[in-house]
Structure 1
Amino acid sequence: MTNIPKEQLRKMELGRPADFSFKKLTKIQAIGLENARYTRVGGVPDKGPEKRFLTKSLWLNNNKLKSTKNLNLLVDAAIEYPAELGWIDFSFNFISHIDESLLKFPNLRILYFHGNCFNDLNEVFKLRPLKGLRSVTFHGNPIANHPRYRSYVVSVLPQIVNLDFTPVVKTEKLFAVPPEVVKKFQEEKLKRQSTSQKLP
C-alpha cells in the first residue's frame, strides 16, 4: 500500500467508480476525466492532489472494446493511485484477448468479463499472476460453453472465491485438474526452466 493520506484513502474506499461505460469506446486510451459518466452513480469520484479520481473502481462496460491493451494509459491518466485499483468492469464488450497491461495492477480483486467474445480458455491463464483476484466473470462468452469451463477456471485461478457470481465451493477445488490445465502447467514449468538455464 502506498502512503495515502487517511482522508483520501477514506474517499477511495467509499467513493464512486470512475464510470466510462456506454461511451462507444473501440480502444482503451487516456481520455479526459470530463468524459466520465455521473448519472448512473449520482456523480463522479472526488479528485486528489493530481486532479485525478480517488477511486479503486473503473467501469468500462458496454463499449466496443476488443482488448485490454493500453489499460495502464487510461488508469494512469484517470486514477490518483493506479496501484490501488481493485475492480474493473469490462462486461458487454467484444474482448477476446487479455493484454499484459492488465497485470500492472496487482491489487485487482474483481474483474468482470461477462458478455464478451473469449473463445480460448488459455486467455484465463494469463490472469494467474493476479494473486489478489477474488471474483471473476466469464459467463456469456464462448468459453463458458466448454464442458470443463468451470473446473478449468477454478484450477487455473485457485485464488478466486467467486466465479460468475457463484461461490467456488471447497469440493470444486478437489476435482481432478482438467487435462488442458495440466498441459498448460507443464508448458509453464518448462518455460521457467528454460529461462533459468539461460541466465548467467
Structure 2
Amino acid sequence: MNKEETALLSIGKPADFSFRKLKSINVDKFLRDIGLEGARYTRVAGVPERGAEKKKFLTRSLWLNNNKLTNTKHVDQMADSVLEYPDELGWIDFSFNYITEIDECILRFNKLKILYFHGNCISDLDEVFKLRNLPELRSVTFHGNPIANHPRYRSYVVSVLPQIANLDFTPVVRNERLQPAPPEVVKKLKEIDKAKY
C-alpha cells in the first residue's frame, strides 16, 4: 500500500451496496449483475477511489444494508471481490435485512470496529457469541431484532462483548460493566471453557 492509498483508505467513502435486493452473498452473481460499478454514490456523494494494483475500492467500509440477506455467509468473499485491502475492513452495515444467522467468516476481519445488525431477524442470543473474537469491535447494533426483547438483552450483550463501547448507538457505562453476567452467559462461558479442554 503506497502513501496515497493509505491516505485514501483512512478517509475513503464506503463501498455502498445497499438497496440492491441482494438475497444472498453470491460473489459470481454479484459481479455479473451489479459489479463495482453498481456501488451507490448518492448517499455519500460519490464512491471510493480505486487502488492502483487491483482496481478495487480503497475503503474500510462495506454497506450491505436494506437488502434481503438472511445470513452473512460469504461476506469474506464479497470483501475480497470489492476491496483493495479487505483485511483492513473496519465497518460492515448489515442493517435492515432478514438476517437470522451470523456466519463465522466475519471473524476473518479482526480490524472490525463497527457492525450494524439493527432491523434484522436474529432471535438466538448465541449469535452474539460469534463476535467475541473481534478484538477491535467497539460499536454494535442489534435493536429491532427479536433478541432485543429478551429481558436481559443489554446486560447479555455487554457481558458477551466486553470490548464494545457502544451498543445500539448508546455508550456502555461503567455500571453496566460492573454488573454480574446473566446466568445464560455464565453457562455458555463454562461450556466454551469445557470444550477447549
Do these two structures clear the TM 0.5 threshold for a shared fold by scoring above it?
Answer: yes
Contact 1:16 1:45 (C-alpha < 8 Å) held by counterparts = yes
Counterpart residue number, 2:21:
24
Deviation at 1:102, TM superposition (A): 0.6
- Within 5 Å, give how 1:35-50 maps onto structure 2: 35-48=38-51, 49-50=53-54
Query: Does residue 63 of structure 1 match 2:67?
Result: yes
Instruction: Report the residue type matching 1:35 in the other structure.
Output: G
Using the TM superposition, give the Cα deviation of residue 176 of structure 1 relative to its aligned residue in structure 2, in angstroms. 1.1
The residue number in structure 1 matching 2:7 is 10
Which structure 1 residue ranges, 4+ long, deviate > 6 Å from structure 2?
A: none
What is the TM-score normalised by the length of structure 2?
0.95
For residue 114 of structure 1, report the CA deviation from its aligned partner: 0.2
- Residue 29 of structure 1: how far off its partner (Å): 2.5
Q: Is the 8 A contact 1:29 1:71 kept in 2?
A: no
The question of 1:166 aligning with 2:163 is answered no
Counterpart-to-counterpart distance in 1, 2:110 and 2:97: 23
Within a 5 Å distance, the mapping from 1:1-200 to structure 2 comes to 4-30=1-27, 31=31, 32-48=35-51, 49-193=53-197
Q: Deviations over 1:108-149 (max 9, x none)?
A: 000000000000000000100101100000000000000000
Cα deviations by residue, 1:174-198 (Å, 9 ceiling, x for unpaired): 10110000011001000100xxxxx
| Unaligned stretches of 5+ residues in structure 1 | 194-200
CA shift for structure 1 position 39: 1.4
RMSD: 0.7
Secondary structure of the residue that 1:111 maps to in structure 2? Answer: strand
Amino acid at match of 2:80: D
For residues 165 and 109 of structure 1, the distance between their equivalents in structure 2, rounded to whole angstroms, comes to 13
Report percent identity of matched pairs: 65
Paired letter, 1:38: Y
Aligned length: 190
